[in-house]
Amino acid sequence: MIFKSSQKKSTLIVVAITQLIIQLIANMTVIALPDIAADLNFSAEAILWVNIIYLMSFVAFSLPFAKIISQYGVKKSTKISLLLLFFSILISVFSINDIMFLLSRLMQGFSAAILAISLYVIVVEEFEDSEIGSALGVVSSSGYIGLLIAPVVMGLAIVALDWKWAFLMVLLILVILLILLNGIDYEWATEKKHVDNKGSLIYVVMMCLFTYGMTLLDEFGIVFVVISVILLIILFKVEKNVPEPIFNFQLLKDVKYVIGNYAAMITYFTITITITVLSLHLQYILDVEEIVVSFILLIAPIIMIGTSGFSGRLSNRIDSRIISGVAMIFICASSTIFFFVDFIPFSIILVGCALQGIGNGLFSAPNNKYVLTLVDEEDLPDASSVLSTSKELGKILSAGIFTVILSIFIGGQQLGLDHIDHLFIQSANLMMFICLLLNLSAAILLFYSKFRYDHVPNESAVRFFKRIAPEWAKKRAYEK
């Protein structure tokens, strides 16, 4: 789909690059943890918080910010969050101790939460119904590419100069984004909603405890997970009597909506742990150099670039659930290959990376379009925040489960020792088997949703998209 409007092109560029930046910021610190720890005197325990505090902040503030965005406008909220992200990264670069750096990661988390919600709302509101699939294809591929190239970007920065240069590069891109956004003479507005303070507080505490508990999953972590489940029950009871709750639980009554979010969570669950397992296997088991590993991990995003745009256009003609279900089959095939990674030749590993790229590229845009067109226009911010949160929860769950598996098989021993290699292989095999089962379940549910339920995009949402379309688009449609 070629967008002829300069405003639409500018909007799509801003949204796509912002999506890529969100994933870069979230994931590129993983490979730099040893260098950050050495520079800022992090303790062994404190260094774990570099990523935990980001995830905590992101998932905890997503839903509350969905309401705040509706109060102030999407463009204004996006601009403010980009500025917050800019200053938080600046703090990271000039941090003099661990406390200062962790504070910057906290700010990056809630800045990214605002952006993640805004992006989907902008796409759904800016583009016409026939264009949404293609636009989401571009945005989705940008997100996956950011997720996959984050270790490469940071790795090259460390090899060439220093980890701080990766953050400085992001600063430069943020300046360009702010200039482009400022040039868009249009504000995207959704229905203003009251912010439920009591529900927001319960939700923030619940998600913080859940994120911390799932990331560590030690004896204290399990207690925090249990407490978060109790808080979820309390939140549900409290929100039943609130006129404008923090989240419209009625959305969860729609089985199609739940399946779409579940599938999104599973894709991020799989892609996150696959990067970790494959990277560790190549370096520790096959003794492949880091720079070679970086280029191997680039196979999937390169393939996704073309596949995502194709799947977005395809979703205008074929039911999104069929495309997403087929995509999950490709991801299942990739997980199967990585399950047997210790018994297959190196070339087949590359095939697995390619299949993963095809699967993720085919999946994201149709599934995003499917989920976001199921809700009423007033629920778009909620639906967008839940979709983003589902993806981050996939990351959290994969990290938590893999941590438990490694602690059971390996315990506190170090990777890279000869007598530990087979234990790591067993751990990785079990994790890939879990991914295979989860992807298969998502595929089955998507096909079930297609043949059990009709998918008729919500008419009020469609009317809303047409109503906010730019005047030039309305005139062109009238002339035709």
Statement: residue 461 has pLDDT above 60 = no
Summarize pLDDT for 200-216 with one digit per residue, the tens.
888 888 888 887 787 66
Statement: residue 284 has pLDDT above 50 = yes
Give me 459's structure tokens: 């008419």
Cβ-based burial of 371 (10 A; exposed 0-12, middle 13-18, buried ≥19): buried
> Which pLDDT belongs to residue 469?
43
Contacts with 197 (C-beta within 8 Å, 6 or more apart), sequence order: none
- 325 pLDDT band (50/70/90 cuts)? very high
Angle at 289 between CA 283 and CA 291, to 5 degrees: 115
- Enumerate the domain spans of the chain: 6-195+246-479, 196-245
3-class DSSP string for 81-118:
HHHHHHHHHHHHHCCCCHHHHHHHHHHHHHHHHHHHHH
Give CA–CA dist 83/287, Å, rounded: 42
Give the distance from CA 107 to its chain's centroid. 17
> Which pLDDT belongs to residue 376?
76
Give the distance from CA 134 to its chain's centroid. 19
Summarize pLDDT for 133-185 with one digit per residue, the tens.
677 777 777 877 787 778 777 777 877 778 888 888 888 888 888 888 777 76
| Mean pLDDT, all residues of the chain | 78
> Which pLDDT belongs to residue 473?
39
> Which pLDDT belongs to residue 157?
80
> Which pLDDT belongs to residue 91?
93
Mean pLDDT confidence for 32-60: 76
Segment of 43-47, 153-157, 268-272 carrying the highest mean pLDDT: 268-272
Tell me which of 1.10.600.10, 1.10.357.10, 3.10.620.30, 1.20.1250.20 is the CATH number of domain 6-195+246-479. Answer: 1.20.1250.20
Mean pLDDT confidence for 223-232: 89
Summarize pLDDT for 410-438 with one digit per residue, the tens.
765 555 555 566 777 888 889 999 999 99
Statement: residue 327 has pLDDT above 90 = yes
Which DSSP letter does residue 282 get?
A: I
Give CA–CA dist 114/420, Å, rounded: 42
Q: Per-residue DSSP letters for 365-409?
A: HHHHHHHHTSS-GGGHHHHHHHHHHHHHHHHHHHHHHHHHHHHHH
Q: What are phi and psi of 30, to 5 degrees?
A: -55, -50
Summarize pLDDT for 55-105 with one digit per residue, the tens.
888 888 877 776 677 666 677 788 888 899 999 999 988 988 888 998 999
**Of 190, 72, 69, 180, residue with least CA distance to 118:** 69
Mean pLDDT confidence for 96-120: 86
- 466 pLDDT band (50/70/90 cuts)? very low
**Of 49, 60, 153, residue with least CA distance to 98:** 49
Give CA–CA dist 120/19, Å, rounded: 10
Q: Quick one: CA torsion of 391, 393, 395, 399, rounded to 10 degrees?
A: -170
Angle between helices 6-27 and 98-126 in degrees, nearest 10: 150
Q: Check: CB of residue 283 under 8 Å from CB of residue 290.
A: yes
Count Cβ atoms below 10 Å from residue 184 Cβ, excluding itself: 18
- 195 pLDDT band (50/70/90 cuts)? low
